[in-house]
Amino acid sequence: MAAGEACSSSAAKNFEDEEDLMLYGGGSGWVEPRTWCDHLPSLTSDLSHIPTPDTSCFRCQHPSENWVCLFCKDVLCSRFINQHMLEHYEQKGHCLALSYSDLSVWCFACDAYLDAQVIQQLRVAYETAYILKFGESPPARTMECMQLENTGAHHSS
């Protein structure tokens, strides 16, 4: 006797953990990068031409993982080395800098990360730095809202 039609389909369970993660996002050290800051309009430099990521700090010659000032394109070391980027901000008020170590953009005045892949103005600098660092264009950000097709497989063999 064949009972091919009597397949019981198991209902797909929704993972509510993902929703919880989003709710807890604010308090666990992870800081959401901003998509705007008031200092962006004062950026007027051509960010498609920036120094290479292996440029040494202009002041102390620290060789790597430096920051590039997005206002004047000076390359300066991080707050973990000799704080020359921070010093540069305090002296000149140049608050936006791109990190050559992880290609993130930091605003010293807002004390916040900016999303360089979303902000059009910064994306130029991000893409240029990425190409200089990795020798290829950054991958296009994929849409993460694509619905996985429900695989309600019918076993009828």
CA distance 141 to 139: 6
| Contact string (CB under 5 A) for Zn ion, positions 72-101, x = contact | x-x--x----x-x---------x-------
Compute the distance between CA of residue 88 and CA of residue 95 in angstroms, rounded to an integer: 9
Stretch that binds Zn ion, among 7-15, 42-50, 104-112, 136-144 (CB under 5 A): 104-112
End-to-end, the C-alpha distance of the chain in Å comes to 14
The answer to whether 37 contacts Zn ion (rule: CB under 5 A) is yes
3-state secondary structure of 50: coil
Sequence-distant (≥ 6) Cβ neighbours of residue 2 within 8 angstroms: none
The nearer residue to Zn ion, 19 or 38, going by C-beta atoms, is 38
Under the rule (CB under 5 A), what is the footprint of Zn ion? Answer: 37, 39, 57, 59-60, 62, 69, 71-72, 74, 77, 82, 84, 94, 107, 109-110
